[in-house]
């Protein structure tokens, strides 16, 4: 109606459309990429095949209908043309009969032909009637039914005329009488009705020809419709394939672009809290999940690395502070010890002189005064003369021992020394053991199997730290086992040897409780320790491994048997390669560092 405003689609319909759209996206996103491509091809090919089949079916249906119409029109037109031809021959005979009156034989022959044409016309008329009934040609049936009696009467009169003309063949007035018969025949109503029938038949033949033309046009339209349907289905399938290809490529490229953006932002901003969105469950979704897991793993590793760096920094600060303190303590100890050692020589000389004086006095004065004898007995002069040299020697030994310990502390204090030097490993090990002597006095036996090895380029303070960690761990293991087995004999074996002329091999073995197999893979990990909380930090072996492998370009490994003990093996290069990571071999000292100054 005019002025009526079109109402929008109901909400329920829009809701159903959205539901179908979301449902299609959910199903599509669950498919793998290969499945998406296959579905697109199958759908496109299905539409193409379905459209082609439909085009062929519909086109063939219309084409068959048009072909049937064409066949009917052809057959009908053929019958009509033959009937018109037979009727035309009959009309021609009527015009030629006068000319053959003087020729009996020709007249007889022409009469026979006329009879044949009449029979043929009747037969064709009958076939047309049957054709009209079988093909439901109502207009044809109407035409034939209207003129059936006309044609029958006309044929009957014509046969009568033919008989009368034949009977006049011997009559002298046959020409005039024949003309009279012909004139009377032409004046009959049957002839007039026959002429009307021939005109109606001609008009109907034109109508049949038009029907044939329409059937031919319909056949051409059917072929065109068939081609249009097939072309449309192909175009539709091509368009759908293009749309699905674009949608599939967008569904693949968009998540990949998002992942690329996340990866670039993570790399640029170091923001490991970012996560790639997971919108599909295909290979792209799995890749996004893997990327998120990788980002989380890197974040965890960085957190662990930061904690490790912080712990190492704290440990380095502690060791640096300890080194400074030990250097100060060693300096404070060495000053009075040097004073004692320096004056002890003079004290020994003075004592030797006094003892010589006493011996001379005893020789010159065999019987000293009573007061002198009483004092000699009171101070036990004989014991004093015998023990005083021993006492001085003991003081000298103690001073020497104190000086060695102080020097070991001073060497150990050089942890932050950045210069590579040629180091005597035996001296380093001995100095470390000297510092640990107080813990070794508990009954731990140390066996030395030193080989003939050269000095190696190394950082002396760091090597002290490695040997201190390994020997301290060995002593801890031995003390732990001794606490539960009173008959246990703790032992540490230290062995050095030249290995393949390029390496020095150091082996430190204890016969403690060993390391459990489940801990073997974690023994060099930072913060890993089997010691009680508050005792072990989990840094010793990790730092030692880094010192040997990264700082000295060496190797460090271990093997352990439960209740049998543990063996740590260190390989140090005798000569540092000029192409190694540490390019400071030019800083090598000219003389070996004995680790004891």
* Domain shared by 209 and 309, yes or no: no
Q: Hey, which of 61-65, 111-115, 242-246, 431-435 has the most confident mean pLDDT?
A: 431-435
The residues, any chain, with a CB within 8 Å of residue 571's CB and separated by 6 or more, are: 499, 503, 504, 505, 506, 554, 555, 556
Mean per-residue pLDDT for 11-36? 58
Q: Domain ends where: 383, 410, 437?
A: 410
With a pLDDT cut of 90, the percent of the chain lying above it is 10
Q: How many domains does the chain have?
A: 3
- Of 4-18, 65-79, 259-273, least confident by mean pLDDT is 4-18
Give phi and psi for 456, each to the nearest 5: -120, 150
CB 403 within 8 A of CB 341: yes
**Mean pLDDT of all residues belonging to the chain:** 76
pTM listed for this prediction: 0.41
- The answer to whether residue 539 sits within a structural domain is yes
* Domain shared by 473 and 498, yes or no: yes
Indicate if the pLDDT at residue 557 is higher than 70.
yes
Q: How far apart are the C-alpha atoms of 346 and 13, rounded to whole Å?
A: 117
Q: What is the CATH number of the domain that holds 542?
A: 3.30.565.10
- The answer to whether residue 36 sits within a structural domain is no
Beta-sheet pairing, 491-499 with 445-449: parallel
Residue 364: give the domain boundaries: 301-410
**Which of 78, 155, 179, 91 lies closest to 124, judged by CA?**
78
* Domain shared by 181 and 156, yes or no: yes
The sign one gets for the Cα dihedral 270, 271, 272, 274 is negative
* Six-digit token string for 414: 């050089």
Task: Work out the angle at residue 123's Cα, subtended by the Cα atoms of residues 122 and 126, and round it to the nearest 5 degrees.
Answer: 85
Q: Which helix (H) or strand (E) holds 378?
A: helix 370-379
Q: What is the pLDDT of residue 3?
A: 47
CB 238 within 8 A of CB 219: no
Q: What is the pLDDT of residue 583?
A: 37
* Domain shared by 74 and 176, yes or no: yes
Q: Where are the alpha helices (DSSP H) in 508-575?
A: 540-546
Q: Domain ends where: 347, 381, 410?
A: 410
DSSP state letter for 13: H
Indicate if the pLDDT at residue 442 is higher than 70.
yes
- Of 86-100, 372-386, 503-517, least confident by mean pLDDT is 86-100
């Amino acid at each position: 109606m005019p002025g009526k405003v079109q109402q929008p689609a109901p909400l329920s319909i829009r809701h159903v459309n959205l539901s179908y759209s979301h449902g299609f996206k959910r199903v599509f996103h669950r498919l793998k990429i290969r499945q998406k491509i296959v579905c697109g091809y199958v759908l496109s090919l299905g539409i193409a095949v379905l459209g082609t089949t439909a085009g062929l079916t519909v086109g063939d249906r219309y084409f068959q209908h048009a072909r049937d119409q064409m066949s009917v029109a052809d057959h009908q037109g053929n019958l009509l043309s033959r009937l018109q031809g037979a009727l035309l021959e009959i009309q021609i005979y009527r015009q030629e009969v006068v000319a053959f009156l003087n020729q009996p034989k020709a007249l007889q022959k022409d009469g026979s032909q006329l009879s044949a044409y009449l029979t043929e016309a009747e037969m064709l008329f009958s076939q047309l009637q049957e054709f009209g009934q079988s093909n439901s040609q109502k207009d044809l049936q109407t035409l034939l039914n209207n003129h059936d009696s006309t044609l029958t009467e006309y044929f009957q009169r014509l046969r009568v005329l033919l008989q009368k003309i034949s009977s006049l063949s011997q009559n002298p007035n046959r020409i005039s009488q024949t003309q009279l018969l012909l004139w009377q025949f032409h004046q009959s109503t049957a002839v007039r009705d026959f002429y009307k029938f021939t005109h109606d038949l001609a008009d109907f033949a034109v109508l049949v020809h038009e029907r044939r033309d329409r059937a031919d046009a319909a056949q051409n339209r059917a072929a065109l419709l068939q081609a249009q349907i097939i072309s449309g289905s192909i175009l539709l399938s091509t368009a759908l394939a293009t749309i699905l290809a674009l949608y599939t490529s967008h569904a693949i490229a968009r998540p990949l672009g998002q992942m690329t953006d996340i990866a670039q932002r993570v790399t640029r901003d170091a923001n490991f809290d970012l996560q790639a969105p997971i919108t599909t469950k295909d290979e792209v979704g799995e890749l996004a999940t893997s990327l998120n897991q990788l980002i989380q793993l890197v974040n965890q590793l960085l957190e662990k690395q930061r904690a490790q760096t912080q712990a190492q920094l704290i440990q380095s600060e502690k060791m640096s502070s300890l080194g400074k303190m030990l250097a100060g303590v060693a300096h404070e100890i060495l000053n009075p010890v040097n004073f004692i050692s320096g004056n002890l020589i003079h004290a020994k000389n003075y004592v030797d002189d006094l003892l010589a004086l006493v011996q001379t006095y005893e020789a010159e004065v065999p019987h000293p005064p009573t007061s002198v004898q009483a004092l000699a007995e009171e101070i036990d002069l004989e014991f004093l003369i015998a023990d005083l040299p021993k006492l001085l020697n003991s003081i000298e030994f103690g001073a020497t021992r104190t000086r060695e310990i102080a020097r070991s502390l001073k060497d150990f204090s050089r942890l932050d020394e950045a210069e590579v030097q040629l180091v005597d490993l035996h001296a380093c090990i001995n100095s470390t053991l000297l510092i640990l002597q107080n813990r070794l006095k508990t009954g731990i036996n140390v066996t030395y199997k030193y080989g003939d090895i050269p000095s190696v380029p190394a950082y002396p303070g760091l090597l002290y730290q490695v040997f201190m960690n390994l020997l301290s761990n060995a002593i801890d293991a031995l003390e732990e086992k001794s606490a539960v087995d009173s008959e246990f004999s703790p032992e540490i074996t230290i062995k050095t040897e030249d290995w393949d002329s390029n390496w020095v091999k150091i082996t430190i073995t204890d016969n403690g409780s060993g390391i459990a197999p489940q801990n073997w893979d974690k023994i060099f990990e930072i913060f890993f320790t089997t010691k009680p909380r508050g005792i072990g930090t989990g840094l010793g072996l990790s730092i030692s491994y880094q010192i040997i492998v990264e700082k000295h370009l060496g190797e460090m490994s271990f093997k352990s048997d439960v209740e049998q003990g543990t063996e740590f093996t260190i390989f140090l290069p005798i000569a540092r390669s000029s192409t190694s990571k540490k390019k400071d071999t030019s800083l090598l000292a000219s003389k070996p560092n004995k680790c004891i100054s």
